[in-house]
Structure 1
Amino acid sequence: MKFAAGATRGLSHETLVTALRAAGEGTRLRILALLGDAELTVKDLTSILGQSQPRISRHLKLLADAGLVVRSVEGAFAFYRLAEDPSGVRVADLVLSQLDPDDPVHRRDRERRSAIRAANAAAAADYFAANAAVWDRIRSLHVPEAQVEAKAVELLTGRTIRALLDVGTGTGRMLELMAPHAQRLVGIDASAAMLAVARANLSAAGVTNARLAQDDVYALSLGTDRFDAVVVHQVLHYLDDPARAVREASRTLRPGGHLLVVDFAPHTMEALRTEAQHRRLGIARHEMADWLADAGLETVACLDLAGSDDTLTVTLWLAVDPRIVADDVRTREGAFA
């Protein structure tokens, strides 16, 4: 067989046999179908499929060994999702495209998965409600969130975004806003509880091109030169070393990629240190300029959104990785390897 220049080669004999053998079993096919548009834990899958934890874990290991699913850890939980490696994607897509969506077995599985999602969403809502008072008070102190969000989206769009990273995703709001503008999105947060809130929010919004992971803003496990856009939205004022977080976020940018930072301008509201655990009372323009320069980025925009005299000012910084785009030889799938 001959391949045209730039064409995608097929899989090796052994790779294809291993993947098809893993997918060609009743329970494992049900697992693949369930993971088609949602991340699930072993506990979720045992509840949906009515099988023991050891059996489900064994099936997941075989699927993972075949490159069809991947595992990520959040605190005490491990989430599974379909693999994003090109070879795994092709086999999973091929198999799942042949499934009848109205098959009674898979329809019942989806119904039980919906019940699991509803329970998870309720738990996330409880956590959000417990913290809502603090968040609502902070929102009341600055320009309306809708204005900030609109300006953030405006700054990021207008260019191709194959892969976007949201550092400190919180409730997942930036992922929800950017989902129509990016092919793939990743949101990371140090808090498993906040990731549960984000997962529930994204599910309710119908966002299917984003994934979430627990990670460290100072030591991201996502590799280098992976993303066309990185967002750090209202995160740096919580950190002891925000400059280090900026450097780490910039490391994940592809050549020509953009970093958007949104945070408060300097202010004097000392109460936020105790009420909301803010480590810094805003960030000055010259500080951010230094941090971006030290990270090897060039600032292309800096905008203030100010409220009334007694409210906080929100500043948006947009910076670009000055390396030429031609230096970037990675494919879209590389961002999720």
Structure 2
Amino acid sequence: MDTILTQLRAAAEPTRLRLLALCARGALCVSDMCDVLGQSQPRLSRHLKLLVEAGLLERIPEGANAYFQLPRGNALLGDILARLPENDPLLAQDRRQAARIAAERARAASDAFVRDGADWDEMRALDLPAAAMEQAMLAALPAHVGRVLDIGTGTGRLLELLAERADSALGVDASREMLALARARLAERGLAARAHVRQADMYRLPFADASFEVVAMQMVLHYAEDPAAAIQEAARVLTPGGQLLLVDLAAHERTELMARHAHRWPGFTDGQLDGWLNAGGCAMRRVERIPGPLFVGLWLAERQAAATTTSEPAFAL
């Protein structure tokens, strides 16, 4: 009863209801909320503190800033939000303001990539078969994927593809600009309530062991200084029997890509990845090649009940 009463008291205030309604459509930072509601940061910070303490919002640090989002699985919060009238003029005005701000943030992030000369759409830059890659990833995973983590989520495309199959979908990326683009994508497609993103280091994921049923890394490892360590950390947060999906460049001899696109690795062989997966307690279950100007590899592995390291490969290559 104490928890229910605390949450009801926290929600029973106009500004805090508006904040909850906004965050139901996607994560927002304090400065965004100030712009939408037209209130001062100290005032909104007090409201946010109460909502976080009551368990109605989660605070996700991101550099010097922090984003606020709805926690998963709070039935009382779902009931409260369901009772808010969709046609309320004030809530409708808040939604319009939030959409405008999200569009501005996404445009600024895109402009920053163009200005700084970073080619963030690598699939297009390398002329990779994006549609075939997406089809292969969807075919490799089950119809229901449970809790999903997308490491190096970029613009959030994989979250968009898996949102309908997942109980929850979370993407992490080190780039704040990428996260801004991902948030805008998810909001535009009405997925912000079921798919979230946050800033994180792939070598030190801020999650407990066995937190996810599926972990994906798409076009990430060829940039990694230490792919083996990244795979081991991804395996750590997988449940026993969970699936680790790796999609990346197969080994190639296009050495000019190393300098032009800042690649650290010229793709990967099946043997390399099998050894790293085995060291992380995973067994290879599926290997595919997706043809194109550069061959793309898809490697699907399963987390074993206990990590074991053997002298023999876990997958017959």
Give me the TM-score of the superposition, normalised by structure 1.
0.86
Alpha-carbon distance in 2 for matches of 1:117, 1:195 = 12
Distance 1:134 1:171 in 2: 13
Match of 1:78 among 66, 75, 80: 66
Counterpart residue identity of residue 19, structure 1: Q
Residues 113 and 120 in structure 2, CA contact (< 8 A), matched pair in contact too: no
Map of 1:176 onto structure 2 = 160
Cα contact 1:142–1:314 (8 A) shared by 2: no
Gap change, CA 1:44 and 1:140, over 3 Å in 2:
closer
Distance 1:134 1:55, change over 3 A: closer
Q: Name the SS of the counterpart of 1:290 in structure 2.
A: helix
Q: Which residue of 2 aligns with 1:60?
A: 48
SS in 1 for 2:26: coil
Q: What corresponds to 1:6 in structure 2?
A: none
Match of 1:260 among 245, 251, 259: 245
- Per-residue deviation, residues 50-92 of structure 1 (Å, max 9, x unmatched): 11100000100010011110111222321101122x4xx1221
Measured at CA, do residues 113 and 205 of structure 1 come closer, stay the same or move farther in structure 2, by a change above 3 Å? Answer: same
Contact 1:124-1:200 within 8 A present in 2 as well = no
The Cα shift of 1:201 comes to 1.8
Alignment-mate amino acid for residue 106 of structure 1: L
Where does structure 2 lack aligned partners over 5 or more consecutive residues?
A: 307-317
- 1:283 pairs with 253, 268, 277, which one? 268
Q: Report the counterpart of residue 312 of structure 1 in structure 2.
A: 294
- Which amino acid in the other structure matches residue 224 of structure 1? D
Quote the Cα distance in structure 1 between the aligned partners of 2:128 and 2:14.
54
What is the rounded CA distance, in whole Å, between the counterparts of 1:192 and 1:112 in structure 2?
21
| Superposition pairs of residues 127-276 of structure 1, within 5 angstroms | 127-130=112-115, 134=119, 139=124, 141=126, 143-158=128-143, 160-208=144-192, 209-276=194-261
Aligned-residue CA RMSD (Å): 1.9
Aligned-partner SS, 1:183: strand
**Shift in CA distance, 166/51, structure 1 to aligned 2, threshold 3 Å:** same
Tell me, in whole angstroms, the C-alpha distance in 2 between the residues paired with 1:74 and 1:235.
20
* CA contact 2:113–2:119 (8 Å) conserved in 1: no
Deviation of the 1:313 alpha carbon = 1.1
**Contact 2:25–2:187, Cα closer than 8 Å, also in 1:** no
State the secondary structure of the residue aligned to 1:58. helix
State the alpha-carbon separation in 2 of the partners of residues 43 and 249 from structure 1. 32
- Quote the offset at 1:137 in angstroms: 6.9
Q: How far apart, in 2, do the equivalents of 1:178 and 1:132 lie?
A: 30
Q: Is contact 2:282-2:303 (8 Å) kept?
A: yes
Matched letter for residue 107 of structure 1: A
Number of matched pairs: 305
Instruction: Give the TM-score normalised by structure 2.
Output: 0.91
Cross-structure match for 2:277: 292
- In the alignment, which of 44, 51, 60 is matched to residue 32 of structure 2? 44
Determine helix, strand or coil for the equivalent of 2:252. coil
Gap change, CA 1:279 and 1:105, over 3 Å in 2: same
Counterpart-to-counterpart distance in 1, 2:158 and 2:8: 37
- CA deviations on 1:239-260 (whole Å, 9 max, x unpaired) are 1110010011011111211110
Q: Alpha-carbon deviation of 1:141?
A: 3.9
Give the direction of change, closer, same or farther, for the CA distance of 1:282–1:103 in structure 2 (3 Å limit). same
In the alignment, does 2:286 pair up with 1:301? yes
What is the Cα deviation at residue 18 of structure 1?
1.1
Q: Per the alignment, do residues 285 and 198 of structure 1 end up closer, same or farther by CA in structure 2, a change over 3 Å counting?
A: same
> Once the 2 structures are TM-superposed, how far is the Cα of residue 273 of structure 1 from its aligned partner?
2.1
Distance across 2 between alignment mates of 1:258 and 1:190: 23
Deviation string 1:9-51 (CA, Å, 9 cap, x unpaired) is: xxxx211111111111111111111111211110011111111
Please name the residue that 2:309 is paired with.
none
CA distance in 1, matches of 2:91, 2:296: 48
- Relative to structure 1, is the Cα distance of residues 312 and 191 closer, same or farther in structure 2, using a 3 angstrom cutoff? same
CA distance in 1, matches of 2:117, 2:142: 30
1:10 aligned residue: none
* 2:314 alignment counterpart: none
2: CA distance between counterparts of 1:125 and 1:40?
Answer: 19
1:165 Cα deviation from its structure 2 partner = 0.5
Question: Does the aligned pair in 2 maintain the 1:134–1:275 contact within 8 Å?
Answer: no
